[in-house]
Structures are given as structure tokens and as C-alpha cells.
């Protein structure tokens, strides 16, 4: 296996684990944005969100919520938490095994997301409705199959 997260889950690469169950594992990010930054990953390999089932996705968020509470209570500098999932290279995914970042935040930590030039601009209702139609059509299609 060449996937680093699969190796970690299998015990073939070192990691500092904080949690493990049948579906997911949580361990410290090797290159933390802030101290306490951890990852929640499915135990079974899936490169993208589309590759994992809904129960696994739900468990990732359930455990992420618990990690959030644990990090906040841990004594690490944490006044807030960001959850971040990069799904696809265009979305800044670098390791192609689904993972939820749980990132402790505090004032002055210098982390941030860069918004595109011209943001915010208010979209026309017709544009929002048209985009909602396109997405809703996919959900309807999903039900039919």
C-alpha cells in the first residue's frame, strides 16, 4: 500500500493516535497548523467523499465533534475550531484518503482562508435559483436510481 493514511491505520507508519473505532481513526497531523491539529480518517481507504459510504461519513463527523470537545478541554490553546475537508485537488486535497481536519484556533494564530477578489458580491436570486435547480435535479436523480 502506498497510501500514508492506510499505513498509519494499519500500524505500518508511526502516528500519535487519539481515537479509534471500527469505522474511523483519529491521530495528530504531522504538520500541524496549530498545536492539537488532528485528523479523522476512515479506516478503509477511500480517496474522495464519493468513495465512502454515508455511515462512514457520518461517523467522521460524529468523532470530529467529540475531538472538537476534547481539544477544547485539553488545555491546548483553543478558543475555536475549524473543520476542514479538502475533496479533490482543486479543493487543496494533498493526501488522497478522505480526512477531516480538526484545527484548534485562537486569536493571532495567523491561519486563514483567502477569499477571491471582489468578494463579497451579492448573487442575483435568478442565479441562486438556477444553481439550486441544477443541484436539486441531481438529488432527484439519486432517488430514482
The footprint of Zn ion (CB under 5 A) covers: 3, 5-6, 45, 97
CB of residue 45 vs Zn ion: minimum separation in angstroms? 4
Residue whose C-alpha cell reads 500514508 in the numeric block: 4
According to DSSP H, which parts of 14-77 are helical?
Answer: 54-73
Q: Catalytic site residues?
A: 99
Long-range own/partner contacts, residues 88-91 (CB < 8 A, 24 or more apart): 88/48
Q: How far is the CB of 102 from Zn ion (least distance, A)?
A: 19
Backbone angles phi, psi at 28, to 5 degrees: -70, 135
Quote the least distance from Cβ 37 to Zn ion, whole Å.
Answer: 19
Instruction: State the Cα–Cα distance between residues 88 and 114, nearest whole angstrom.
Output: 18
Amino acid at each position: 500500500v502506498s497510501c500514508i493514511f492506510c499505513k498509519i491505520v494499519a500500524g505500518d507508519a508511526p502516528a500519535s493516535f487519539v481515537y479509534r473505532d471500527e469505522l474511523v481513526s483519529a491521530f495528530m497531523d504531522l504538520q500541524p497548523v496549530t498545536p492539537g491539529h488532528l485528523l479523522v480518517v476512515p479506516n478503509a481507504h477511500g480517496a474522495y467523499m464519493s468513495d465512502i459510504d454515508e455511515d462512514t461519513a457520518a461517523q467522521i463527523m460524529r468523532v470530529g465533534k467529540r475531538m472538537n470537545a476534547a481539544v477544547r478541554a485539553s488545555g491546548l490553546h483553543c478558543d475555536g475550531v475549524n473543520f476542514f475537508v479538502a475533496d479533490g485537488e482543486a479543493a487543496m486535497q494533498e493526501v488522497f484518503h478522505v480526512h477531516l481536519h480538526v484545527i484548534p484556533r485562537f486569536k493571532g494564530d495567523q491561519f486563514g482562508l483567502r477569499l477571491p477578489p471582489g468578494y463579497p458580491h451579492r448573487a442575483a436570486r435568478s442565479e441562486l435559483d438556477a444553481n439550486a435547480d441544477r443541484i436539486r435535479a441531481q438529488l432527484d436523480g439519486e432517488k430514482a436510481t
